[in-house]
Amino acid sequence: MDNAIAKLIELKIAGAGDYRTEQYKGVLQQDLAATLKSNMDCKLAVFNTLVSKMLGWTPPKSETIRRNILIGKLYQEYILSHDGLSPALLAGTEPVSADWMNKRLEQMGEAWRVRVKGTQYEILSVNNP
């Protein structure tokens, strides 16, 4: 195609048009997002392994992450469903009562509960009150 355009230019043929080419090396454009995510996941796994071996630290397990996210969602639910809340509770520096949290966890069928320890929640199994 490049030769054809060069010949047209030599013949001084004028016209309006748009000539574009797209070339990809390695990954197809439609697979780029998945490839980048896979690459980042791999880098994170290598990083966590190095940190674990060098510092003795292990990243949180997925169940711990799920529980912490659920505690955050229940905290937001409490804020949205109650009036007359303290500024500390609204700022997130005061915990919601463990009784309310545990009632909601039971309603949701969760097999764990919380206990307030300072300004944090301690996660307990149902058999460990």
Q: Are 126 and 109 in contact (CB under 8 A)?
A: no
Alpha helices per DSSP H over 2-129 = 2-10, 32-55, 62-81, 87-91, 98-107
Q: Are 44 and 74 in contact (CB under 8 A)?
A: no
pLDDT in tens, the chain (129 residues): 666 666 656 665 555 555 566 665 666 767 767 777 777 777 777 776 776 677 766 656 788 889 999 999 999 999 999 999 999 988 889 999 999 999 999 999 999 999 999 888 998 987 644
CA gap 35, 28 in Å, rounded: 10
Q: What is the pTM of this model?
A: 0.51
- Return the bridge partners of 37, or none: none
Q: Are 102 and 128 in contact (CB under 8 A)?
A: no
The per-residue b/e assignment along 4-14, b for 16 or more CB within 10 angstroms, e otherwise, is: eeeeeeeeeee
Q: Are 103 and 84 in contact (CB under 8 A)?
A: no
Location of structure tokens 């797209």 = 22
